[in-house]
Amino acid sequence: MRIAITGSTGLIGTALVRSLRTDGHEVVRLVRRAPAAAGEVRWDPRRQELDPAGLAGCEAVVHLAGAGVGDHRWTAAYKQEIRDSRVLGTRTLAAALTAMDIPPRVFVSGSAIGYYGDTGDLRTDESAPAGHGFLPEVCTAWEDAARPVRDAGIRTVFARTGLVVARSGGAWGRLFPVFRLGLGGRFGDGSQYWSFISLTDHIAALRHLLDADDLTGPVNLTAPEPVTNREATAVMGRVLNRPTLCTVPAPVLRAALGEFAGDVLGSQRVVPQRLLDSGFVFRHPRIIDAIRAA
């Protein structure tokens, strides 16, 4: 299969490209610079430029590009970057896909469980409405930007991703070095739920979405049993054989992270109901499995 991917140099994109190529698939990488290798196609999501000819022959498109939510303090300018990098990129792809003579059969567009906002200890599946706040607004606009693709009859899936447990990259990539030094601990009181997924399961789930012809709309990419921050902290200490006595008080997080601290301290007990109903089997369903794998 010929598959186009945006965000192919990120944590998830790199792993997905490797997985697909290992199994003999042809990958077209959309890049924002001049192409430097075979299989690269230039696009400019900010200017909404992408020649549909570059996607010719692609049976699937996976859209993973977007500015990192936790990479910088949330200034007004960076919040706009977070939003634009997702919405403008999706609009650019939508315009190109709907202009193709032979469009792909499936479009898997990244999204996030930030769509639901703070759900407390309520088990939340894909039937839940959007929450309130910056991230729910971004996720809603992000998914809405793909409406022309869906309206054109292309199977469209929104991969609402949780916290990816990986050795490097993403939130957990920042946590591992701190915990290895024995400086790890809970955030706030630690009662907030974290909906995680191992990198291995995330890549397998994305490939499942490409192949599952009956899946459309939102699909949560999280492990079946979310854990509290306190529980995740304890498992990190046990796996790494390090103390976890440090605590980052909520006021310190707010001082360091600004508005983003509200999401770090927020609780999301999100479950992958549609993924499970479709027959997907997790290799790392428990937090200890995911952390050991990473």
- Alpha helices of the chain — where are they, by DSSP H? 11-22, 76-99, 134-144, 147-151, 170-180, 199-211, 229-240, 250-257, 261-265, 273-277, 287-293
CA atoms within 13 A on the CB side of 11: 21
Are 5 and 15 in contact, with CB atoms under 8 Å apart? no
CATH tag, 2-169+196-222+270-282? 3.40.50.720
Q: State pLDDT tens for residues 145-184.
A: 999 999 999 999 999 999 999 998 888 888 899 899 998 8
Smallest CA-to-CA distance from 87 within 65, 72, 104 is with 65
Is the pTM higher than 0.85? The answer reads yes
Pairwise CA distance, residues 286 & 270, whole Å: 14
Are 83 and 45 in contact, with CB atoms under 8 Å apart? no
Pairwise CA distance, residues 221 & 197, whole Å: 7
Identify the pLDDT of residue 263: 67
Q: What is the mean pLDDT of each run of 10 residues along the chain (294 residues)?
A: 96 97 97 91 95 96 92 88 96 97 97 96 97 95 97 97 91 88 90 96 98 96 97 96 88 68 82 97 97 96
Q: State pLDDT tens for residues 228-269.
A: 999 999 999 999 999 998 888 878 767 656 666 676 778 999
Burial 194-230 (b: 16+ CB within 10 A, else e): bbbbbbbbbbbbbbbbbebeebbebbbbbbeebbbbb
Pairwise CA distance, residues 28 & 95, whole Å: 18
Identify the pLDDT of residue 72: 79
Are 228 and 191 in contact, with CB atoms under 8 Å apart? yes
